[in-house]
Structure 1
Amino acid sequence: MMEEKKTKSEGLEWVKALLIAFGLAAIIRIFLFTPIVVDGISMMPTLEHGDRMIVNKIGYTIGEPNRFDIVVFHAPEQKDYIKRVIGLPGDKVEYKDDVLYINDKPYEEPYLDQYKAEIQDGTLTEDFTLQEKIGTDVVPEGHVFVMGDNRRKSKDSRHIGAVSIDEIIGSTSIVFWPIKDFGFVK
């Protein structure tokens, strides 16, 4: 009789422990961090198709995106995209001769150096102004202008318009799989 009670009590403790563990895992995944798989080549060479990353969901609930952050957001096609923040609210963004200008000041993009070195025909990023791409001279308040690092093969703000900050799930900078690529990306 005593042995049966002890087994029952032990079983209840295990059930409680498992429920707490699953509950904590769900809370962490819903509110703090979640995994994502890179789908496509739009962020190459920084990210490769199939890379698995951790998305930090809490960063933008207490702060705003920073220029050049890699973010995950809900895209119009009911899909999540991974892109790089180029323009912040109020920024004037322009490309001339493969150089990024923000508020008329040139910016270096070291993450594009590998692709620029491989280009044989023209430029990596075509010339454009925000007016030509999104119909306004500056990034609207509450929005960001995002682009993929693989500029010739990326569906980004040049095609879908400025992205509402409310649509951003979080930022990502940690690749955890494949193991050979494990680490931080910039």
Structure 2
Amino acid sequence: MKELKEWIKSIIIAIILALIIRSFIMESFIVDGSSMQPTLANHQRVLVNKISYRFREPKRGEIIVFPLPNDENRILIKRVIGLPGDKVEIIDGRLFLNDEEVREDYILFKSDNGFGPVVVPEDKVFVLGDNRSKSIDSRNSQVGFIDIEKIRGKAFLRYWPLSKFTYFN
């Protein structure tokens, strides 16, 4: 009987710890779609650090997870391009940030069309998918600028499939 109580106590503690970790520290997400290729592919799994943005603002180039502004149940994963006050523009498929061209080694194909210029408002970020032609991102009115407070976290580790195991800065 004493052994059964210990098992139950251990299971309850494990469940509580798992809930705390998932709610406040890190969470696993499944990539849905091809908008982040070649960096992330459909059905790959990433771990997201949920605590870092409680202590600092997002940085350019980080891959973040956030809910679609008009549908909190739909989660998107994109790359931070513009920070508050930044001017973002796409000309002939080339990304310009504050009037300087950005070298993007992580994309395969440049976008066909232009965009902007737009200036990122305070407390928001501008995000793009790495696969520009297949991405619904800040260029789309359905997504727009992302409230920093709505960001769920920063993707820091692709753990599935194991053959693609990667740590992201």
TM over 0.5: yes
Is 1:97 matched with 2:88?
Answer: no
| More helix as a share of residues | 1
Alignment match, 1:55 = 48
1:149 partnered with 2:142 = no
CA contact (8 A) 1:74 1:81 kept: yes
Instruction: After TM superposition, give the deviation of residue 13 of structure 1 in Å.
Output: 1.4
Structure 2 match to 1:127: 114
Distance 1:176 1:185 in 2: 11
Residues 47-77 of structure 1: per-residue CA shift (max 9 Å, x gap): 0000011011001111110001100001023
Identity of aligned residues (%): 45
Q: 2:147 aligns with which of 149, 154, 164?
A: 164
Q: Could you say which structure has the higher strand fraction?
A: 2
Name the counterpart of 1:140. 121
Post-superposition offset of 1:185: 4.1
Are the equivalent residues in 2 in contact too, given 1:45–1:150 (CA < 8 A)? yes
Question: Tell me, what secondary structure is at the counterpart of 1:20?
Answer: helix
Counterpart in 2 of 1:119? none
**Letter matched to residue 44 of structure 1:** Q
Q: What is the rounded CA distance, in whole Å, between the counterparts of 2:58 and 2:132 in structure 1?
A: 21
Structure 1 match to 2:164: 181
Contact kept? 1:95, 1:125, Cα under 8 Å: no
Per the alignment, in what secondary structure is the counterpart of residue 41 of structure 1? coil
Does the CA-based 8 Å contact 1:46-1:185 persist in structure 2? no
**In 2, Cα distance between the equivalents of 1:89 and 1:168?**
14
Following superposition, which runs of at least 4 residues in structure 1 exceed 6 angstroms of deviation? Answer: none
Give the SS at the match of 1:29.
helix
Tell me the TM-score normalised to structure 1 length: 0.84
Q: What is aligned with 1:29? A: 22
Q: Would the aligned equivalents of 1:101 and 1:107 in 2 still touch at CA under 8 Å?
A: yes
Normalized against structure 2, the TM-score is what?
0.92
Q: Secondary structure at the match of 2:61?
A: coil
Q: How many residues align?
A: 165
Q: Quick check: 1:15 aligned with 2:2?
A: no
Deviations 1:1-31 (A, max 9, x none): xxxxxxx222211211111111111111111
Equivalent residues of 2:80, 2:125 under 8 A apart:
yes
- State yes or no: 1:44 paired with 2:37: yes
Q: Which residue of 1 aligns with 2:57?
A: 64
Q: In 1, are the aligned partners of 2:92 and 2:111 still within 8 Å (CA)?
A: no
Contiguous gaps of at least 5 residues in structure 1: 1-7, 117-122, 131-136
Structural RMSD (CA): 1.4
